Amino acid sequence: VSEPPGRSRPLIGRRSVLRLLGVAALGLVASCRPGKQRTAPTSPGPATTRPAPSPQPAATPATPTTASTAAASVQPTVSPLSADQLVAQRVALAEQALLGAYDAVTVAHPELAGRLAPFRADHVAHLRGLVPGATPSTTAPSNTAPSSSAPSSSAPSSSAPSSSAASSSAPASSAPASPPLSSPPASTVILRQLADLERSAAAARLGDVVTTSGSLARLVASIGGCEAAHAALLSVAT
Amino acid sequence: VSEGGVVAALLAAAAAENAAVYGYSVAGARLATGQDKNAARTAYDAHRAQVQNVTQWLADLGATPAPAAPVYRLPSPVVDNPSARALLAAIEESTAAAYADVVAVASAQLQRDAALELQAAAIREAQWRTTSVPFPGLVGRLGA
């Protein structure tokens, strides 16, 4: 799986991936609050943020067993959730953000879609394990960018929140200068960045675990194990 | 959360680590490549170190693990490279499961340490499988 030499595709740099994560997180935060108690202030987010499809509200708590107070301050505007539900929602947000990163990468590099699909599927499973009935709110790119169409490297569709970030790079169709021999192919850079994101996520799960117990702690720890394994596999893949 | 629950989970983790040491000693020789054999040696050392760590955690709680058995029954015979990798993946999954049980009942630093060991086992499991599982340590237990 190597790209044609000398072709410089627009990279999604770390900064833009992080920006996408922010957009994805805002979308989820805005959409996952129960409607009647919605006290959310107007979002200061980017004007291009489209409201994500609402996941179904969690009808049942993930694990109504414990009542640790450690996470009580996470979302002070949402009162009726148990401490465990708050932890589950916090981790679900992180999973949604990772999904957004995979979606963004797949838009910019459709050739990686097949290879990344198993990783993405794991995060969908995590989301559903945390919030029963949740449907991953696909970020705009995965809905609007047909990966089957011409593999053009022009900017993703204008509705994608990543457009400003991704399209600022030079279009690949212009005569590419040969990159220095030392620069790795774009896919390698992307996979490394995803590995970094997974590694950070796994580290964050260690902090999440100690705010809960019982079956939810077991679940969150397992999700962290999966993310650590993803980081390792993605690192090997490069 | 009772201290007895933590002790019981740690005793099971110690048993899983001893079984893992045995499993690596059996399967390591059947691996095909030098790279895999090196990885197996590193993992063998990691499991031996974890036997010591878990023993210390138990000692802090006034308990002592059972000594390692001389022989463990393997879930499937190890005759070649694929069966060796399958055994090692299964060993890591059961190690991860043991630490998941510790995570469920422990708290504070021990809970975090157990979660980190689950991650280490999950990484090794994925490397033997060459793919990931969504819920390492919970395989066969979620939704069952």
DSSP annotation string for B48-61? HHHHHHHHHHHHHT
Q: What is the mean pLDDT of chain A?
A: 67
CB contact under 8 A, A229 and B123: yes
- pLDDT tens track for A65-89: 344 444 444 445 556 789 999 999 9
Percent of chain B with pLDDT over 90: 93
pLDDT-based confidence at B123, cuts 50/70/90?
very high
* pLDDT higher at A189 or A5: A189
Residues A194-206, buried b or exposed e (16+ Cβ, 10 A)? bbebbbebbebbb
- Residue B125 carries which side chain, given as an amino acid letter? E
* pLDDT higher at A20 or B28: B28
Q: Look at residue B94 and tell me whether its pLDDT is greater than 90.
A: yes
CB-CB contact of A59 with A81 (8 Å): no
Mean pLDDT of all residues in A224-237: 95
Nearest to B104 among A215, A223, A236 (CB): A215
Query: A232 — contact with chain B (CB < 8 Å)?
Result: yes
Alpha-carbon distance of A203 to A208, in angstroms, equals 9
Query: B3 — contact with chain A (CB < 8 Å)?
Result: no
CA angle A40, A42, A43 (to 5 degrees): 95
Alpha-carbon distance values, B8 to A66, B58, B64, B113, B140 (Å): 20, 9, 11, 17, 21
- pLDDT tens track for A91-141: 999 999 999 999 999 999 999 999 999 999 999 999 999 998 888 876 544
- pLDDT tens track for A200-217: 999 999 999 999 999 999
Query: Which residue is it, tokens 């395989």?
Result: B139
Q: Look at residue A153 and tell me whether its pLDDT is greater than 70.
A: no
CB contact under 8 A, A232 and B115: no
The shortest C-alpha distance from A28 to chain B (Å) reads 22
Helices A186-209 and B108-129 cross at an angle (nearest 10°) of 150
Tokens of residue A166, six digits: 């991704």
Alpha-carbon distance of A58 to A51, in angstroms, equals 19
Alpha-carbon distance of B66 to A37, in angstroms, equals 54
Tell me what pLDDT residue A133 has. Answer: 84
DSSP H helices in B28-80: 34-60
The shortest C-alpha distance from A109 to chain B (Å) reads 21
- Residue A116 carries which side chain, given as an amino acid letter? L
CB contact under 8 A, B123 and A121: no
- Residue A219, C-beta contacts closer than 8 angstroms, at least 6 positions apart: A62, A63, A129, A130, B135, B138
Query: B123 — contact with chain A (CB < 8 Å)?
Result: yes
- pLDDT tens track for A168-195: 344 444 444 555 556 778 889 999 999 9
Give the least confident one: A63-77, A141-155, A217-231: A141-155
Q: Look at residue A25 and tell me whether its pLDDT is greater than 50.
A: no
Q: Look at residue A13 and tell me whether its pLDDT is greater than 90.
A: no
Q: Which of A177, A111, A183 is nearest to A147 (CA)?
A: A111
Query: B100 — contact with chain A (CB < 8 Å)?
Result: yes
- Residue B142 carries which side chain, given as an amino acid letter? L
Cβ-Cβ contacts under 8 Å, A211 against chain B: none
Mean pLDDT of all residues in A10-18: 43
Alpha-carbon distance of A220 to B114, in angstroms, equals 12
pLDDT-based confidence at B91, cuts 50/70/90?
very high
Tell me what pLDDT residue B64 has. Answer: 97
Mean pLDDT of all residues in B76-84: 95
DSSP H helices in B61-107: 81-105
Query: A121 — contact with chain B (CB < 8 Å)?
Result: yes
Q: Look at residue A23 and tell me whether its pLDDT is greater than 50.
A: no
Nearest to B96 among A125, A205, A225 (CB): A225
CB contact under 8 A, B115 and A125: no
Tell me what pLDDT residue A67 has. Answer: 40
Tell me what pLDDT residue A112 has. Answer: 96
Give the predicted TM-score (pTM) of the model. Answer: 0.71
Mean pLDDT of all residues in B22-48: 97
Query: B114 — contact with chain A (CB < 8 Å)?
Result: yes
Tell me what pLDDT residue B130 has. Answer: 96
Cβ-Cβ contacts under 8 Å, B127 against chain A: 232-233, 236
Collapsed DSSP state (helix, strand, coil) of residue A127: helix
Q: Look at residue B118 and tell me whether its pLDDT is greater than 70.
A: yes
**Chain centroid, CA B2 distance in Å:** 23
pLDDT-based confidence at B140, cuts 50/70/90?
confident
CB contact under 8 A, B135 and A223: yes
Give the least confident one: A80-84, B19-23, B56-60: A80-84
CB contact under 8 A, B135 and A219: yes
* pLDDT higher at A218 or B75: A218
